[in-house]
Structure 1
Amino acid sequence: MNTLKTIGPVALILLMGSNSSFAQSFKREDKFLNAGIGIGGGLGIPFGVSYEQAVSDRISVGGYLAYSRKKERWNEYGEWKYSYILAAARGSYHLKVNSDRFDPYGGAMLGYNVASVKWSGEGSEPVSASAGGLMWGLHIGTRYWASEKVGAFAEIGYGATVLNVGVAFRL
């Protein structure tokens, strides 16, 4: 149900986009801000933001930051609470297509995952620890521009999530 509360405002923003003429879907020195949610991948439902800067007419580089929580119930005794903070550098290669609305791309990211776990329940706390480690991922995605400045994005891949969707802004 929380997913619907997130997708609703995104859909509203896209519907409000104007039908003005569009520039090329991806060009050198474009700057993008993406905000979205992830589904799948075992880390709960991460909420994340990414920033990208085009450094050529086909390549963008930037960063990704996300936060996620999930709970795991242990019978009637209590539950484990996991939290993750993900920070990564990412780069993408953008395909040339005959469309001013679609921006298909594929890329990779490399970063760090800070994970912590807490016990909430009866008796003494079982052994728990916080950890961190390198994280990498691959993605294939596209942006769809509803207006010159506002659009949506969707990515599939391996890494923080299997599917990442949200709203995109051209800065």
Structure 2
Amino acid sequence: MKKLFLSLTVLCLAIQFVQAQRFKPHVDLNLGIGVLPTFVKDHGKAKMLPMSLTADYKFTENFSLGLAGSYSITESGIYQFRDGTTAQWRNKFSTVTLRAAAHSRLINDCLNIYGGLNVGYTNSAIEMMQGEEKKIKAERGIGRTGSNFLYTAFLGSRYCLGQRAGLFGEVGFGVSIATIGISVRL
């Protein structure tokens, strides 16, 4: 019985060692375009589609840490105040975040599903195109510039097209609610 237990233990350790040797830490760079901008609720028009760039260092098969940056330009629709006057503004919105993610094992060595958290900083630079800034600030709470702390979750998947290239999609809050793009493994 002792020999059987010892043999099974050695076999399990050998399998674990072989699997650990297959994984090499790497960096995934993702360049994405937002397909559902955050400011869609304001009936805004995207003057520059939300763009994002992430660099994720996958240090184990199941975990990664990374940096993300994103930027968009949106113009509001014409907003009418209670007194009948109107306003319109442009919002240049950017984020810089740290991100941590947990990854599933690769399905068929080609599909990776992951989820995690973003923690960082946002900045909105508002430019009035029409109307009075003090009225829009009083009624909507929108000022010329604003910076905030951002913490949000995301869920995504990456499909490989080859050894180093792939496609990815993510949902989460930030500059866009949904993002798609290309991924390159370094």
Q: TM-score range by the shorter chain?
A: 0.7 to 0.9
Q: Tell me the equivalent position of 1:34.
A: 30
In 2 relative to 1, CA 158–27 (structure 1 residues): closer, same or farther, beyond 3 Å? Answer: farther
Mapped to 2, the partners of 1:130 and 1:96 lie a distance apart of 43
Mapped to 2, the partners of 1:73 and 1:157 lie a distance apart of 24
Q: Tell me the equivalent position of 1:133.
A: 148
Q: Tell me the number of residue pairs that the alignment of Structure 1 and Structure 2 aligns.
A: 144
Q: Which has the larger radius of gyration?
A: 2
The percentage of aligned residue pairs carrying the same residue is 22
Mapped to 2, the partners of 1:159 and 1:85 lie a distance apart of 9
Q: Aligned letter for 2:62?
A: R
- The Cα of 1:131 is off from its aligned counterpart by 0.6
Determine which of 51, 58, 61 is the counterpart of 1:57: 61
**Greater per-residue helix proportion:** 2
Q: Tell me the equivalent position of 1:146.
A: 161
Task: After superposition, give the CA deviation of every residue in 1:47-88 in whole Å (9 maximum; x if it has no partner).
Answer: 010000012221000100000110013369662011111000
Q: CA RMSD in A?
A: 2.2
In 2 relative to 1, CA 63–99 (structure 1 residues): closer, same or farther, beyond 3 Å? Answer: same
* 5+ long unaligned stretches in structure 2: 1-21, 41-45, 80-84, 135-142
Mapped to 2, the partners of 1:27 and 1:156 lie a distance apart of 27
Mapped to 2, the partners of 1:169 and 1:57 lie a distance apart of 17
Query: How is 1:90-129 mapped onto 2 (pairs within 5 angstroms)?
Result: 90-121=99-130, 125-127=132-134, 128-129=143-144
Q: Aligned letter for 1:81?
A: R
In 2 relative to 1, CA 120–157 (structure 1 residues): closer, same or farther, beyond 3 Å? Answer: closer
Determine which of 91, 94, 98 is the counterpart of 1:85: 94
- The Cα of 1:160 is off from its aligned counterpart by 3.7
Task: For residue 98 of structure 1, give the secondary structure of its aligned residue in structure 2.
Answer: coil
- Which range is displaced more, 38-47 or 78-87? 38-47
- The Cα of 1:170 is off from its aligned counterpart by 0.5
Task: For residue 53 of structure 2, give the secondary structure of its aligned residue in structure 1.
Answer: strand
Q: Which has the higher contact order (CA 8 A, sep 6+)?
A: 1
Q: Tell me the equivalent position of 1:14.
A: none
Query: How is 1:156-171 mapped onto 2 (pairs within 5 angstroms)?
Result: 156-171=171-186
In 2 relative to 1, CA 160–121 (structure 1 residues): closer, same or farther, beyond 3 Å? Answer: closer
Q: Aligned letter for 1:126?
A: E
Q: 2:73 touches 2:92 (CA, 8 Å); kept in 1? A: yes
- The Cα of 1:33 is off from its aligned counterpart by 0.3
* 5+ long unaligned stretches in structure 1: 1-25
